[in-house]
Chains A and B, each alone.
Chain A
Amino acid sequence: MSRNGPLALIFHTIFVIVMVAPILVVCLVAFTPEGFLSLPTNGFSLRWFRAIANYPEFIHAFWVSLGLGALSSFVALLFAVPAALALARYRFRGRDALAALFLSPLMIPHVVLGIAFLRFFTSAGLGGSFAALIIAHVIIVFPFALRLTLAAATGMDLSVEMAAVSLGANGWTLFRRVTLPLILPGVISGWALAFIQSFDDLTMTVFLAAPGTETLPVRMFLYIQDNIDPLVTSVSACVIAITMTALILLDRFYGLDRVLAGKGDTGR
């Protein structure tokens, strides 16, 4: 029962096709049996997926990205959860300024962050190290971890906590047994969204990665700079598949609209 007219539906159809086309074409070209970029017209082949195995840089970069995403999102949550609880519960002087500071990585162009971190970590003697990447990624994923945790903490019924306190729970027990379980969906989604952001970042990471700590987007980007061949499409197809899986999981866990709505607001 759509209330849209035919013109609107035509517009919508074209819009959706254009939105999907570039992603679809990457996935299709990845299955080409030819040795050059082409749509698979003579049957599908997995040769370019097998070819990834002969290109250890991509495999290594994938593990770097995975470890980096998982670890930096986790570390970001260690800082973000207490901060979110403070921002959700208390009205104190400097609260707005703090919130603005914590969300500022969204407003600062990643190219600027990349340059700033490159300068900083080189001076600190950490240039090109995995540790430097982790710290930098903690900063850029922090706002996402904070937002979803904050949303969960704000929505939480405080009287539940008061009830727990009246029953004798306090401090760490209160947090572990009552608060954390209640905000957990937000925390997990915050982790997932942070992971995706870290996994996808090119602009900042391209400044910081050295051979050996190159992430998958960086490796793909450098590869494309030299030449575009079906290998990079099959790698991209894998990345798209991984993201889609994460998306579906996120949707099951939390509802994608809520995650994305949180994300949409952040650019302000």
Chain B
Amino acid sequence: MSTAADERNARAPWALTAPALMLFVGVLLIPLAMTVMLSFHDWGQYKGIEPVFILKNWHEIATDPYYAEMFWRTFRIAILTTLLTALLGAPEAYILNRMSGRWKSIFLLVILGPLLISVVARTLGWALLFGGNNGLVNKLLMSAGVIRSPIPFMFTETGMVVALAHVMMPFMVLSVWAALQRLDPQIENAAMSLGAGPVTIIRRIIMPQIMPGVLSGAIIVFSLSASAFATPAIIGGRRLKVAATLAYDEFLNTLNWPLGAAVATLLLVALVLIVVGSNALIERRYAEVFR
């Protein structure tokens, strides 16, 4: 039996979401579809964009080793950045979580606050710190005896990874932090009462439980690093291209929009596949435990 109230309930959510839905279809889905189409168009130095359907751009990306190298560099940087944030961010989140109330909230603010500070400003900071061979970082590392001769940071992948890791770190800390909040506060005491030492507690009790947090943090960091623009553009300069900076160049300097659209489409598809795939894997792996 369908009452007036039932009918109203069936229609209300659609009425409420309709404006947003139309907005998203009109100015998100259509432009994205247009971009995919654009990647199949032709382009010439003098004739501009020709709205035909050819595989020229895709063929060029598939065969020219320049693009393979560029994509490999993009993902290499993203993977290294992800590893770095996981290796440093997860322990930091754990340490943070063990602090007492006041210190905890102060340091949480200090570590997560940068998330909201302009990426350009933060990367500029790294450019200043790296500053050629006698930059502050090199001076510090050399006087601490960590390295003997200066490492080039500017215009190198090393510099990009360090700066990106700094930019992405809050996401990792936040993600592991969230996982730590779900832990039973007595869980460490429980393990201790059964005879486990500190190392065993971390390895056998804490690590397995925060792993989903580390992994979901890794997915965020990876996808943001692989598509990052500001940091690679400022630290990497014009020489060391990643997918986002290359697409930017094709669009605004070379003006070869169809080729740029192809690079962007490939980046989008690759990222969606990786993110959706690894999310599914994580969910399957931990379905039994965390439902």
Contact = CB atoms under 8 A, between A and B. Distances in A.
A and B touch in the complex (CB under 8 A): yes
B124 A247 contact: no
- The dominant DSSP class at the A interface is helix
Nearest to A18: B166
A79 B23 CA distance: 8
Given A26-B125, A120-B30, A4 B35 contact: no
Interface stretch (A50-58, A99-107, A155-163): A99-107
Interface in A216-249: 217, 220-221, 224-225, 228, 232-233, 236, 239-240, 243-244, 246-247
Nearest to B89: A15
A96 to B, nearest CB: 12
B12 A86 contact: yes
A257 B105 contact: yes
A187 interface: no
A86 B16 contact: yes
Nearest to A146: B20
Interface string B116-147: 11111111111111010000100000000000
B77 to A, nearest CB: 14
A11 B99 CA distance: 14
Interface string B8-42: 01101110110111011001101110110010000
Contacts of A232: 124
A202 B119 contact: yes
A135 B22 CA distance: 13
Contact of A11 (B35, B92, B227, B243): B92
Interface in B237-291: 243-244, 247-248, 251-252, 257, 260-261, 264-265, 267-268, 271-272, 275, 279
Interface residues on A, range: 35 or more
A112 B227 contact: yes
Contact of B136 (A9, A25, A206, A246): A25
B113 A236 contact: no
A212 interface: no
B272 A236 contact: no
B17 A115 contact: no
Contacts of B14: 86, 92
B98 A3 contact: yes
A260 B95 CA distance: 19
A94 to B, nearest CB: 9
Given A4-B99, A239-B118, A26 B28 contact: no
Given A2-B100, A95-B13, A110 B122 contact: no
A149 to B, nearest CB: 11
Contacts of B88: 15
Contacts of A119: 31, 34-35, 38, 257, 261
Given A21-B129, A261-B174, A264-B178, A83 B17 contact: yes
A167 interface: no
Contact of B264 (A22, A115, A135, A139): A115
A111 interface: yes
A116 B98 CA distance: 45
A63 to B, nearest CB: 16
B12 A117 contact: no
A110 B92 contact: no
Contact of B127 (A90, A110, A228): A228
Contacts of B120: 202, 217, 220-221, 224, 236
Contacts of A29: 128
Interface string A8-30: 11011001101111111110010
B21 A98 contact: yes
B160 interface: no
A236 B118 contact: yes
A109 B260 CA distance: 14
A20 B95 contact: no
Contacts of B261: 115, 119
A177 interface: no
Given A19-B110, A260-B112, A267-B171, 5 more contacts: A11-B92, A37-B131, A108-B32, A112-B227, A217-B118
29 contacts: A15-B92, A23-B121, A25-B125, A37-B131, A79-B23, A82-B20, A90-B12, A90-B13, A92-B14, A95-B13, A111-B247, A112-B227, A116-B31, A117-B31, A139-B28, A142-B20, A196-B116, A202-B230, A203-B244, A207-B251, A220-B118, A224-B124, A236-B121, A239-B117, A256-B112, A264-B175, A268-B216, A268-B220, A268-B279
9 tightest Cβ-Cβ pairs between the two chains A and B: A22-B125, A109-B227, A267-B220, A120-B31, A264-B174, A86-B16, A116-B31, A236-B121, A90-B13
Interface of B: 9-10, 12-14, 16-17, 19-21, 23-24, 27-28, 30-32, 34-35, 38, 88, 91-92, 95-96, 98-100, 103, 105, 107-129, 131, 136, 163, 166, 169-171, 174-175, 177-178, 216, 219-220, 223-224, 226-230, 233-234, 243-244, 247-248, 251-252, 257, 260-261, 264-265, 267-268, 271-272, 275, 279
